[in-house]
C-alpha cells in the first residue's frame, strides 16, 4: 500500500509525524468523530434509527417535509 499512497495521505501522515505523541489520543478521537460524521450508515442502521424515533413520537407530518423546498 505504501507505493499507492495518495498526495493527501502523504501530507496527512507528514502532519501527524510532526505532532508530539501526547496529542495522538485527541487526534484519534477527532478522526473517529470525523469518520462517523461523513460515512453513510447502513440501511439496517438507518431503519433502526428511524424506527426508534417513530416509537418515541419524534415524527412530523408529511406536508411539513416539503416546506421551504419550493415543491408544490
pLDDT in tens, 30-53: 999 999 899 998 999 999 999 999
CA distances from 17 to 11, 27, 47, 59 (A): 10, 12, 40, 47
Look at the pTM and tell me if it is higher than 0.85: no
Close Cβ partners of 5 (under 8 Å, ≥ 6 residues apart): 13
Q: CA–CA separation, 8 vs 5, rounded Å?
A: 8
Domain boundaries, the chain: 2-65
The per-residue pLDDT for range 6-29, each reduced to its tens digit, is 999 999 999 999 999 999 999 999
Amino acid at each position: 500500500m505504501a507505493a499507492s499512497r495518495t498526495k493527501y495521505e502523504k501530507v496527512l501522515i507528514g502532519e501527524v509525524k510532526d505532532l508530539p505523541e501526547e496529542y495522538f489520543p485527541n487526534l484519534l478521537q477527532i478522526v473517529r468523530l470525523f469518520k462517523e460524521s461523513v460515512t453513510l450508515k447502513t440501511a439496517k442502521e438507518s431503519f433502526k434509527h428511524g424506527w426508534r424515533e417513530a416509537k418515541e413520537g419524534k415524527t412530523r407530518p408529511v406536508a411539513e417535509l416539503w416546506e421551504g423546498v419550493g415543491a408544490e
